[in-house]
Structure 1
Amino acid sequence: MDIPQVSRAVACCKQLVGHFNHSSKSSYLLKQKQYDLKHKQHRLIQPVATRWNSSYYMMECILEQQQPLSATLSQLRKSDLMPTGSVISTMYDFVQFMKPFVEMIEAIGSEKWASISSVRPLLYQITNKYLLCSEDDSPLVKQMKQQMITKVNEYYGDGCDLEVLNKCILLDPRFKNVSFASSDILLDQLTEVARNRVSVAATASSSHVPSSIAITSSTPVSRHKEGKVMKLLTDIVHTPDDSLTNPSEKVSIELQRYLSDVITDQYDEKGRLDPLKWWQLNGVRYPCVTVLTRKYLSIPATSVPSERAFSLTGHLVNEKRASLLPVTVNMLSFLAGNLK
């Protein structure tokens, strides 16, 4: 957006849209021309300073309504407001280049709770597909790609943030088998989780045993009371003991079992899968990995949900309802956000 060629095109479009938004006569004539020329009767979109995609929609709408706009401005004798050929070419390049990125932010924003695990696959898609230069690119498109590559490297370069994003894609069952994910980055942290679980279990078991009782037998104590059937089959059924397996080996086995698990029946009627609900149902099968999912997958990928909550509360609390108690506002916000 800071490229001079793009900023000039945005300023030209703002001037055009501002004229029609402030003139009822011009808006009426535009509707007549749209009807006569059998164009879609869309209103011109006013851009918002805090949302760059509004500039995209403004340019897209102007490109769609070129013929009615030109006829209307010609009749009003204000043809100087119509973008020139070079500006229209800039708008076309901008719209074609930014279309996949607009689709990405809309896909993330449309989900009620988008997890951070979706960020790394989208970054991979951006850098390995949309930002690759080709011979057919115009000079403006090449410049936009170069600036975007610089920004992506600035925000998501090699470092701690990128490592966290790589861990998140492995913890999301939708992306666990992507080609650029490596399970090695989780092993150290999972091993530490396994050791903590063993130490906590040992502390809990020892705290329930009176100090006057000493266990002299070397036979491991079973944690579960065996039933009569199990007593008859003890010679062929062996219960695994946590103390016989190294924590790192247990973690490796559990991680490989999770990565090889095939997800077949966890999708909803629209073909979507909620990773948090999936872990809620299947977390007991992977106790160590589940600990990390609670830590990482709870991070939101975007601030859209929180902004929606503030917008919703702004509609509830106004000048005529300024005496509402905080408890009442919380209850109303909860009901408005969930009763849909």
Structure 2
Amino acid sequence: MQVDPLVLQSTSSESDVLVQSDIRQYQVRPKLSDDESRRIDVLVSSLMWRDMRPFHIVEGQGFRNLVHGLNHQYKIKHRTTYQAITERTYKSAKSFLLDVFKHVNYMGITTDMWTSIRNDSYITVTVHWITDDWKMMHGVLTTECMTEANTAENLSLRLTNVLAQYRIVSNKISATVTDNGRNIKKAVDLLDDWTQLSCFVHTLQLCVKAGLDIPAVSRMRVGARRLVNHFKHSSKATAALREKQFSLRPGKTVLDLITECPTRWNSTFDMFDRLLSLQWCIRAVLTDFKITKPSVASSLQMSSSQSLVHVLKPLKIATTMMSASKYPSILWIYPVLFTLQKKLGSGDVDRVQPPIAKQLYGNKLINVFFASNWHRKLPVLASVLDPRYKFLKFIDNDATKQEVYCHLKGQITEFAAKNSDFEQHLQSESTNEAQTFDPFEDLCGKDTEKQTIAAPEDDIEAYLREPAQPSDSDPLQWWKLNAARLPIMSLMARSYFCIPATSVPSESVFSSGGHIVNAKRASLTPANVNMLVFLNKNAHMMV
């Protein structure tokens, strides 16, 4: 075979071109120290639990290229090394929490169950407390695999063992929040000195669930699901829907339709709300017979969902607001319930579609949350201890308000009598006062009135004489500034405010657990699942 001399000459000339060397490649870099190498080891191991990555990621070529590009002197270790570092981090973090809980006197906990892809049953327990600086804190105590049957007796034993691991005595637990499962509610009841509260959101959704099955709403849901499924199963229709959004909703984010999911709260609202937002785009696709066959279009009805969206929207707002862990939520339960109840009776809702509104969450809402002695329940008392809602303006009946105040006075007196932390608080205050040198007191004698501590009844009377705080103020910051002058009530507020309104904190662990125990990591041991979930969910407390 002959080679063109011109091509040969061109190739030869290109290979002879000299490229100037970069002076940086001749610089002598200091050798990677052992301390720096260990620091990188820790960072690599933290990648696994912070971002939910499997340990075998260190064996991938892409990861090795990345690390070599960042620091070519660092030698990647075997994955068992990073797993050992993670285990040490777990032990250190658990010891940190043990030390924190020594100084925490009031905690609220939540618990729930979930099943992994391996069909293993797990129980998760979360803890919530308020710091000395009046800041809300939360963490995960455990995510344990339950090999035994999920009976009430076994669950109560698990809960007791979890607290024992962290040396938490039961009288520190203000309340335990669970869903409405019979076994878990009975498990808490079996523990004599524990207080059980049902998850507000779960209970609210149970009130709505029956209403969603009434014929009028059921027909709307069936038609909506059929419409959404048409677009989900047709790439042509989905592409056309997106194109219509560019022309009919210029400048707005392109949205996809949402499918109703029975296990997801608010998914019915989300489905109808999205259909309502895209109704004109959907109609444009259905009436374009180049995209949708006439026979198919005639079977897909675009029913008016505005009435249902209008009724379900308050539920969406309430559940979203009540599911947060960064601020006290229990004090909102009854203000939210009364607001929902008033919306049911308002002319605005009745004009839209009164049967749907009343059957969705009418009688059941009243029967569940406003049973006998509802005004004596812990969430109502928590609302009084919130300086924004202390006048109970959401309650129209003045007699009921007075009953709440009287019950709170009795609870405060009882709380002060049996609460050892309160006694220690008073003793420390008295000791500090005695050690203070006052020349005037030394000359004229000790002022005994200065040592008098206001009775609980006096505290609450003084508290109620002051104006309410603005609705956008922070109740925790208010108590931080006023705890010294209202010591008994501040301790009670700390005890109540740490209780979550929902068991969502435990349920949110399910998503993290699902990322860990997936199809590619189905062989992960329960101990490692617990360790990785613990580190991931408590990362906000770790430096």
What is the identity, as a one-letter code, of the residue corresponding to 1:254?
Answer: D
How much does 1:70 deviate? 1.9
The secondary structure found in structure 1 opposite 2:323 is helix
How much does 1:236 deviate? 9.1
Counterpart Cα distance in 2 of 1:167 and 1:184: 11
Counterpart Cα distance in 2 of 1:257 and 1:107: 31
Matched, 1:166 2:374: no
| Partner residue, 1:16 | 227
- Which one of the candidate residues 118, 122, 130 is aligned to 2:336? 122
Counterparts of residues 192-231 of structure 1 (less than 5 Å): 192-196=414-418, 224-225=434-435, 227-231=437-441
Matched, 1:314 2:518: no
Matched, 1:331 2:538: no
| Partner residue, 2:215 | 4
What is the identity, as a one-letter code, of the residue corresponding to 1:250?
Answer: A
How much does 1:19 deviate? 1.1
- Which one of the candidate residues 298, 304, 320 is aligned to 1:106? 320
Q: Which moved more, 1:130-139 or 1:17-26?
A: 130-139
The secondary structure found in structure 2 opposite 1:42 is coil
Distance 1:169 1:239, change over 3 A: same
Maintained 8 Å contact 2:328/2:498: no
Maintained 8 Å contact 2:269/2:309: yes
| Partner residue, 1:48 | 261
| Partner residue, 1:254 | 459
Counterpart Cα distance in 2 of 1:145 and 1:156: 16
TM-score in terms of structure 1 length? 0.76
Distance 1:48 1:125, change over 3 A: same
TM-score in terms of structure 2 length? 0.50
The secondary structure found in structure 2 opposite 1:284 is coil
Counterpart Cα distance in 1 of 2:311 and 2:371: 26
Matched, 1:298 2:498: yes
What is the identity, as a one-letter code, of the residue corresponding to 1:134?
Answer: G
The secondary structure found in structure 1 opposite 2:391 is coil
Q: Which moved more, 1:54-63 or 1:317-326?
A: 317-326
What is the identity, as a one-letter code, of the residue corresponding to 2:225?
Answer: K
Counterpart Cα distance in 2 of 1:178 and 1:255: 14
Distance 1:311 1:259, change over 3 A: farther
Maintained 8 Å contact 1:133/1:145: no
Q: Which moved more, 1:73-82 or 1:326-335?
A: 326-335
How much does 1:168 deviate? 1.3
More strand by share: 2
| Partner residue, 2:300 | 82
| Partner residue, 1:211 | none
The secondary structure found in structure 1 opposite 2:384 is helix
Maintained 8 Å contact 1:133/1:142: no
What is the identity, as a one-letter code, of the residue corresponding to 2:534?
Answer: N
How much does 1:47 deviate? 1.5
Q: Deviations over 1:307-333 (max 9, x none)?
A: 223322432454438253744542233
Maintained 8 Å contact 1:16/1:81: no
Structure 1 residues not aligned, in runs of 5+? 206-221
How much does 1:226 deviate? 6.0
CA RMSD of aligned residues (A): 3.7
- Which one of the candidate residues 466, 479, 483 is aligned to 1:283? 483
Distance 1:261 1:233, change over 3 A: farther
- Which one of the candidate residues 233, 237, 245 is aligned to 1:34? 245
Maintained 8 Å contact 1:70/1:79: no
| Partner residue, 1:97 | 311
Counterpart Cα distance in 1 of 2:323 and 2:367: 23
Q: Whose Rg is larger?
A: 2
Distance 1:272 1:24, change over 3 A: farther
Maintained 8 Å contact 1:21/1:27: yes
Distance 1:161 1:311, change over 3 A: farther
Counterpart Cα distance in 2 of 1:194 and 1:38: 61
Counterpart Cα distance in 1 of 2:277 and 2:419: 61
How much does 1:272 deviate? 4.9
| Partner residue, 2:285 | 72
How much does 1:141 deviate? 2.4
What is the identity, as a one-letter code, of the residue corresponding to 1:8?
Answer: R
What is the identity, as a one-letter code, of the residue corresponding to 2:524?
Answer: A
Counterpart Cα distance in 1 of 2:437 and 2:324: 52
The secondary structure found in structure 1 opposite 2:484 is helix
Distance 1:339 1:262, change over 3 A: farther
Q: Deviations over 1:133-179 (max 9, x none)?
A: 53983584234225522111121123355422321111122321333
Distance 1:4 1:283, change over 3 A: same
Distance 1:81 1:60, change over 3 A: farther
Distance 1:230 1:158, change over 3 A: farther
Q: Deviations over 1:276-306 (max 9, x none)?
A: 4544554333222133224322221122222
The secondary structure found in structure 2 opposite 1:175 is coil
How much does 1:257 deviate? 2.3
Counterpart Cα distance in 2 of 1:113 and 1:190: 23
Distance 1:310 1:112, change over 3 A: farther
Distance 1:285 1:118, change over 3 A: same
What is the identity, as a one-letter code, of the residue corresponding to 1:334?
Answer: N
How much does 1:197 deviate? 6.2
Counterpart Cα distance in 1 of 2:325 and 2:536: 22
Q: Deviations over 1:230-269 (max 9, x none)?
A: 4345369543444xx7xxx7112111223344677x99xx
Matched, 1:234 2:444: yes
Distance 1:316 1:272, change over 3 A: farther
What is the identity, as a one-letter code, of the residue corresponding to 2:297?
Answer: S
Distance 1:140 1:291, change over 3 A: same
Counterpart Cα distance in 2 of 1:238 and 1:307: 54
What is the identity, as a one-letter code, of the residue corresponding to 1:191?
Answer: T
Distance 1:140 1:263, change over 3 A: closer
